[in-house]
Structure 1
Amino acid sequence: MCIDVHHHFFLDAQKKAKKNLEVGWRTPDENLPWGPQISLAAMDKLGVQTAILSPPPLSSASCGVETRAEVRQQNIYASQLCTEYPKRFGFLAGLPCLDDVEGSLEEIAFSFDVLGADGVALISCYGDGDSAKYVADGLYDPIWKELNRRRAVVFLHGAQTPSSTPYPHPWLGLPISEVPNETYKAAAHLVVSGKKRRFPNVNIILAHLGGSTPFLAARVAALSHHMGCPLTPDEIIEDFKSFYYETALSAHETTLTAMATLVPSDRLLFGTDFPAVSTKTVEWYTKNLKTHFAGRPLDLANIMCDNALRLFPNLGKAKVECLSAGTPGQ
């Protein structure tokens, strides 16, 4: 059994594919137009029992109360898929731009209390240009306070934010070159601002093994302390170790070896980033993951399934049911 914690859904797949082209990414043709059957077929091929759905990351510039209706529609749709396929899908609720604090708090309440969400999905920053704010900005403290009260799981994904220069090559678009750094910047912001310690009950999963985080954490530890961060270098490293890290588009001997020096296997989760990528791409990363842990079956079982079951206890019932049945099932 395998649980995929990084699995997107598209309400308007063609619109999403067009937006992806604008940032330098081509959605696999075979995944368009997307519908739940596309994901279910891929999950069966990949050996994934349950996928935890999250909405595609909003543009970091998509701020305004008008996004409330779009986000509400996405969350209702995801919850309907979970009702239709209770053993196959969970979901992480999207929120409007966090600048809309009131709307975000309302969506948290609706998603958890009415829709039964398994957590929420956030991006690294909100707003555009000089007005952009990263997730640990003080304006967002009421949102973090509520997530902390609920002991919520947060899936944190880097925003598709362009740098001050064009991306260097058509084969090195924003999702490849910029998103990993955005994830790192958001994680580092949470750490050096003290918000990771202030809201300790929020379980934060960093997408793509944290992007650049494993390689830059030590740089932050000493240099941010030098610049005035009251946390000691060791405390900063400790806080980076308190995140969860998922494997989508990142599992390779080099990255997994680096992760082993940062966190134990109980902080790693399996992810695919489907349907933004093909099953062929997912299979390549999954083969790397399984090869790396070939001699450590308990560690591999933790990553592929058991860590997610501990983090998302509502999935436990589905595990018991599917094991007793012997097949994935609807």
Structure 2
Amino acid sequence: MPRQIRRIDVHHHYFPADLTVTKAQSSEKFGWDTPAENLPWSPEVSLKFMNAASIDVAILSFPALSSGFVGQENRDQARQRNCAMAEIVEFHAERFGFFATLPFLDDIEGVLTEIAYALDVLKADGIGLSSSYGEGMDAKYVGDDRYDAIWAELDRRSANVFLHGSQTPSSTPHPAPSLGIPVVEVPNETFKAAAHLVVTGRKRKYPHVRVILAHMGGSTPFLAARVAVLSRHMGCTLSSEEILEDFRSFYYDTALSAHEATLTALNTFLGNPNRLLFGTDFPAVSSEMAGWYTQNLERFHASEPDDLVKIMAVNAARLFPRFQSYT
């Protein structure tokens, strides 16, 4: 019998006890019902799913939210969440890693302090970022000038960064109950943040940060060429080819995105599978939903088993060396 392909899930959330949004509130505010069987979340909920889905390792991350505030309470909250995740990882060292959550990003001093503590003391596997911070017209995308010191520190550390679209509503209501914010807005928020990092030159200025875009970058593979020409016309100083080159320098996870059409587009855009990573988005979705995308991924690469091995674990192990044995 052939050896089971290893799987490292880089897009796997945790829901801390202090995240008190109820199912009804989530459905009304975001237009999404987290599967009831996954709530309340615990490591055992994820481990049960992982065992059934033959997933060796999951890198835990806090859900992307743009709301927040500057202050000690917010710093303490981030620290508590990171310490709690570090304890879980210590207890299940062979099964979990985690992306550290940060204080509200406008708190530059607090953010830099937490980056150092999370990476040096708690040994986090990377940093989780939302696409933007703040509400409405006050929101700023992560490539904003005010966050330059943060990117400089992440670059100095060659840090892994998991960039996830925030639960940001449009200026109009979502079109239908079945087309809530996670369905129609979150993927585009990921693209907007990635595009902002590119056109501001932040991605090129800090090349040592390994940025993973959630959900295969959302609409990135389809809109990168639009940015390459139109944003240059509107003042971006990079050439069209430089813009496309910088878009190709991201990593892309497969969570809720693996389908023949999207995989074909991203494969063509990137040119090789070396920056594609396996992800599920569990426990925000059910095991059945996550499994549908995994099956699509496996089917698409059925004739290219070496590529599938890279996507499922090898590429991630290069970013997370402590999991090299899972390749």
Same fold, judged at TM 0.5 (above): yes
- 1:14 & 1:281 partners in 2: Cα distance? 23
- 2:21 & 2:99 partners in 1: Cα distance? 18
- 2:324 & 2:80 partners in 1: Cα distance? 27
Partner of 1:63: 69
Please state how far the C-alpha of 1:62 moved relative to its aligned partner: 1.4
Give the AA of the match of 1:15: T
Count of residue pairs the alignment pairs up: 318
Mapped contact 1:4–1:272 kept (Cα < 8 A)? yes
Q: Give the direction of change, closer, same or farther, for the CA distance of 1:265–1:17 in structure 2 (3 Å limit).
A: farther
Partner of 2:301: 293
- 1:311 & 1:85 partners in 2: Cα distance? 19
- 1:244 & 1:14 partners in 2: Cα distance? 28
Partner of 2:273: 265
- 1:250 & 1:180 partners in 2: Cα distance? 10
Please state how far the C-alpha of 1:15 moved relative to its aligned partner: 2.0
1:3 aligns with one of 4, 8, 13 = 8
Partner of 1:218: 225
Please state how far the C-alpha of 1:262 moved relative to its aligned partner: 1.1
TM-score by length of 2: 0.95
Please state how far the C-alpha of 1:130 moved relative to its aligned partner: 1.5
Partner of 1:326: none
- 1:116 counterpart = 2:123: yes
RMSD between aligned alpha carbons? 1.2
- 2:67 & 2:164 partners in 1: Cα distance? 15
Mapped contact 1:122–1:156 kept (Cα < 8 A)? yes
1:307 aligns with one of 315, 322, 325 = 315
- 1:25 & 1:140 partners in 2: Cα distance? 30
Mapped contact 1:51–1:89 kept (Cα < 8 A)? yes
Please state how far the C-alpha of 1:64 moved relative to its aligned partner: 2.1
Mapped contact 1:148–1:201 kept (Cα < 8 A)? yes
Q: Give the direction of change, closer, same or farther, for the CA distance of 1:76–1:118 in structure 2 (3 Å limit).
A: same
Please state how far the C-alpha of 1:17 moved relative to its aligned partner: 4.4
Per-residue CA deviation, residues 237-269 of structure 1 (Å, 9 max, x unaligned), is: 000000000000000000000001111201100
1:190 aligns with one of 185, 197, 200 = 197
Per-residue CA deviation, residues 117-138 of structure 1 (Å, 9 max, x unaligned), is: 0000000000111111100111
- 2:322 & 2:157 partners in 1: Cα distance? 15
- 1:123 & 1:14 partners in 2: Cα distance? 16
1:229 aligns with one of 230, 233, 236 = 236
Give the AA of the match of 1:82: V
- Structure 2 unaligned residues grouped into runs of 5+: 1-5
- 2:293 & 2:84 partners in 1: Cα distance? 29
SS of alignment partner, residue 313 of structure 2: helix
Per-residue CA deviation, residues 72-117 of structure 1 (Å, 9 max, x unaligned), is: 1111111101100010000100011110101100100110111000
- 1:298 & 1:16 partners in 2: Cα distance? 42
Mapped contact 1:161–1:174 kept (Cα < 8 A)? yes
After superposition, residues 1-330 of structure 1 pair within 5 angstroms as 1-12=6-17, 15-18=20-23, 19-21=25-27, 22-58=29-65, 60-65=66-71, 66-263=73-270, 264-317=272-325, 319=326
Q: Which stretch of structure 1 is more off in the superposition, 11-20 or 262-271? A: 11-20
- 1:73 & 1:254 partners in 2: Cα distance? 41
- 1:241 & 1:232 partners in 2: Cα distance? 14
Mapped contact 1:14–1:33 kept (Cα < 8 A)? no
- 1:44 & 1:61 partners in 2: Cα distance? 34
- 1:5 & 1:113 partners in 2: Cα distance? 21
- 1:256 & 1:230 partners in 2: Cα distance? 30
Please state how far the C-alpha of 1:314 moved relative to its aligned partner: 1.8
- 1:315 & 1:295 partners in 2: Cα distance? 26
Give the AA of the match of 1:215: F
Give the AA of the match of 1:131: D
- 1:279 & 1:16 partners in 2: Cα distance? 22
Give the AA of the match of 2:285: V
- 1:35 & 1:160 partners in 2: Cα distance? 22
Give the AA of the match of 1:207: A
- Structure 1 unaligned residues grouped into runs of 5+: 321-330
- 2:232 & 2:59 partners in 1: Cα distance? 37
Give the AA of the match of 1:173: G
